[in-house]
Amino acid sequence: MRLDVRWPIGGMFSLIGILLTIYGMVSNPALYERSLGINVNLWWGLALLVFGLVMLWFAYRAQRAGPAGPAGPAGPKLP
Amino acid sequence: MLGIGWALRRVIRSSEDFFLSGRSIPAWIAGLAFISANLGAQEVIGMAASGAKYGIMTSHFYWVGAMPAMVFVGLFMMPFYYGSRARSVPEYLKLRFDEKTRGLNAITFAIMTIFSSGISMYALAKLLELVLGWSFHGSIVVSAVIVLIYIFLGGLTSAIYNEVLQFFLIVLGFLPLVLLGLKDVGGWSGLTSKLAVVATNAGFEPGAWSHSWKYMDSPSHNPMGMEWFGLVMGLGFALSFGYWCTDFLVVQRAMAAGSMTAARRTPLIAAIPKMLMPALVILPGMLAIGLHASRGGFLPIGDDGQPNYNLAIPMMLAHYLPSGLLGLGLTALMASFMSGMAGNVTAFNSVWTYDIYQTHIRPGQTDQHYLRVGHAATVFGILASVLAAYSATRFNNILDMLQLVFSFVNGPLFATFLLGMFWRRTTGHGAFYGLLTGTITAALHYGLTLPRGSVPGIKGGFLGAVLHTYPSEMALNFWTALFAWTGCFVATLLISLFTKRTKTDDELRGLVYSLTPRVQEGHMAWYKRPVTLAVGILVVSTLLNVIFW
């Protein structure tokens, strides 16, 4: 079995997303003066979380569809 | 935030070994690794710097340069590489020509890797200087030590896996920056009005920074100082094809694909995100110069009174991103610097140890001996990179310097490859002396010309007489590449005609186009064929050229 690269990508971005979102919720709003008053930590954190979860979902779906294994055809499986 | 990125990268590394075993990487992963191998700090910092210095004309590196070249690699070059299973450019040259051609290329390639890693080192040191407030000299030393540790800890063993991760890290780390900058400047129309000020201040028509082709009728009408012929031939043909066809750091990613068709499709799949990359790497530079002109403070002014364009991205990061997201952006930058330096030093190490030392200096030693030589080469490579990093301080745009190095190495090499692959009559002597002629032509051209406003020295003109002054550094690079390509092409052609062939048709099977079996793809559905994808890419990049005309 080889590890689908989407697992670590999904995991990493979900984690970063969660941390950023939490930081965005608890941080001082004065921090966001430089980012044009937008709480970018919160919003981009959520965006990264969604991206991470979508990656994880693709990885999960690919795994459930059956382990193609290293011998499987390297088809154009675009996510 | 920095720590998380690194910690995760370490965990992932352990699972890499069996992932890479065998050629069975899905095409989309190979495709992302393919552009990620090229999306280093040099691209991020250099393209933004060029976006500020030359405006949207920088997009020619993508829509005139990279797109046709990547399509060419996918359709025509991959069959040779995949078929011959050469692992590096020197190795291919040895199979196709002879040992001396391989040796010459190994030397120029080794020099190129040192400059490449030195340029990354300079960029990293500048970043440390800006963010942490250290002195430049101290930052250089720290950068060198970091890379040394990174390589000895086995930093590059997990190349492809990390590269895909890094691709997403760079894209998702920089995207908020671009969005915030664009919102701040008032969208595309706000940006063009600010760039009009930049252009008029520099003495050009107001649209010179926001039109990619319109002012290319004469070198004096645009900031890059190029007219369309020199740009299309110098950048579009010699430099871009030279880079994408012969840079094995990139080509190796496609070789990891599962089949010949997948390998051919890899550069084509990679071309799709590559096409959109200007929005991520050039746009921030244009935003920085536009905002700098109207508000100031977006670019530092160097000792020569010119802005240091290299700092466009770091300054934008520091300006717009609050702590939290800033960490993500810096992680993305650091990751790309690291892989840029480590990749080049490792390539230097392997070329020196296997293609030069083992072949020409001391063959037949034990593996341990070569391993020790390799370690020594790594240390030497990093020390030499420090020198290259200091020479990079003379350039206010690292892409100017990088393309100068490429014009020496990739420009002539592409002529050698083109003749070697499509003309079986090309001989070993022809290739060797042709390559030598091409490199010397580049040196002569570079030594006898100078970009405007520069003193003779590292920027050219060191041969005493300055025969021609180019409006910009980049214009000099494009012409150097074109001269070098022509020199190599003509010399190789003539010498090959007057020397005897040393390789028979049988030995050239799989190395020359006419002696390589055609790829059979007739049984595939039309929309699955690489050719269909290639045509689609060319159509879309043409459209992009028209939209930003």
Contacts of A34 in chain B (CB under 8 A): 319-322
A28-49 residue pLDDT tens: 888 888 888 888 888 999 999 9
pLDDT the model gives residue B22 = 42
Confidence of residue B203 (pLDDT cuts 50, 70, 90): confident
CA B325 to centroid of chain Cα atoms: 28
B275 vs B67: CA distance, rounded Å: 7
A54-64 residue pLDDT tens: 989 988 887 78
Q: Is the pLDDT of residue B355 over 60?
A: yes
A27 → closest Cβ in B184, B262, B324: B324
pLDDT the model gives residue B154 = 58
B380-393 residue pLDDT tens: 999 999 999 998 88
Confidence of residue B255 (pLDDT cuts 50, 70, 90): confident
Taking CA–CA distances from B8, the nearest residue in chain A reads A12
Q: A74 and B161: CB-CB below 8 Å?
A: no
pLDDT the model gives residue B516 = 74
Q: B324 and A41: CB-CB below 8 Å?
A: yes
Q: Which residues contact B177 (CB under 8 A, 6 or more apart)?
A: B284, B313, B316, B317, B320, B321, B329
Q: Is the pLDDT of residue B269 over 60?
A: yes
Query: Which of B158, B269, B325 best probes binding to A when mutated, by most A CB atoms within 10 angstroms?
Result: B325
A45 vs A48: CA distance, rounded Å: 5
Confidence of residue B24 (pLDDT cuts 50, 70, 90): low
Tell me the nearest-neighbour CA distance from A50 into chain B, angstroms. Answer: 12
Compare B238 and B256 and report the one with higher pLDDT. Answer: B238
pLDDT the model gives residue B484 = 93
* CATH entry, B25-131+142-537, from 3.10.20.90, 3.90.79.10, 1.20.1730.10, 3.40.1190.20: 1.20.1730.10
Tell me the nearest-neighbour CA distance from A32 into chain B, angstroms. Answer: 6
Q: Count Cβ–Cβ pairs < 8 Å, chain A vs chain B.
A: 101
Contacts of B269 in chain A (CB under 8 A): 76, 78
Contacts of B265 in chain A (CB under 8 A): 76
Mean pLDDT, rounded, for B499-519? 79
Work out the end-to-end distance of chain A between its first and last CA atoms, rounded to an integer number of angstroms.
20
CB-count burial class (<10 Å; 0-12, 13-18, 19+) for B411? buried
pLDDT the model gives residue B127 = 84
Contacts of A8 in chain B (CB under 8 A): 8, 11-12, 15, 161, 165
B19 vs B162: CA distance, rounded Å: 12
pLDDT the model gives residue B17 = 37
For residue B68, which of B497, B456, B540, B426 has the smallest C-alpha distance?
Answer: B540
Q: What are phi and psi of B468, to 5 degrees?
A: -150, 145
Question: Would you give the DSSP letter of residue B220?
Answer: G
- Biggest CA-to-CA distance, chain B: 67
B285 vs A36: CA distance, rounded Å: 19
Q: Is the pLDDT of residue A51 over 90?
A: yes
B70 vs B205: CA distance, rounded Å: 33
B15 vs B10: CA distance, rounded Å: 10
Mean pLDDT, rounded, for A23-28? 85
Q: Which residues contact B547 (CB under 8 A, 6 or more apart)?
A: none
**Which two structure tokens, joined as six digits, stand for B224?**
């890059």
Tell me the nearest-neighbour CA distance from B330 into chain A, angstroms. Answer: 14
**Under a CB-based contact definition with an 8 Å cutoff, are residues B78 and B267 in contact?**
yes
Mean pLDDT of chain A: 78
Contacts of A73 in chain B (CB under 8 A): 258-259
Confidence of residue B351 (pLDDT cuts 50, 70, 90): confident
* Rounded percentage of chain B residues whose pLDDT exceeds 90: 11
Query: Which of B4, B6, B8, B161 best probes binding to A when mutated, by most A CB atoms within 10 angstroms?
Result: B8
Per-domain boundaries in chain A: 6-64
pLDDT the model gives residue B31 = 82
pLDDT the model gives residue B270 = 87
Mean pLDDT of chain B: 82
- pTM metric for this prediction: 0.85
ipTM: 0.81
**Which two structure tokens, joined as six digits, stand for B24?**
């069975």
Taking CA–CA distances from A79, the nearest residue in chain B reads B28
Per-domain boundaries in chain B: 25-131+142-537
- Half-sphere exposure of residue B438, counting CA atoms within 13 Å on the CB side? 35
CA B411 to centroid of chain Cα atoms: 13
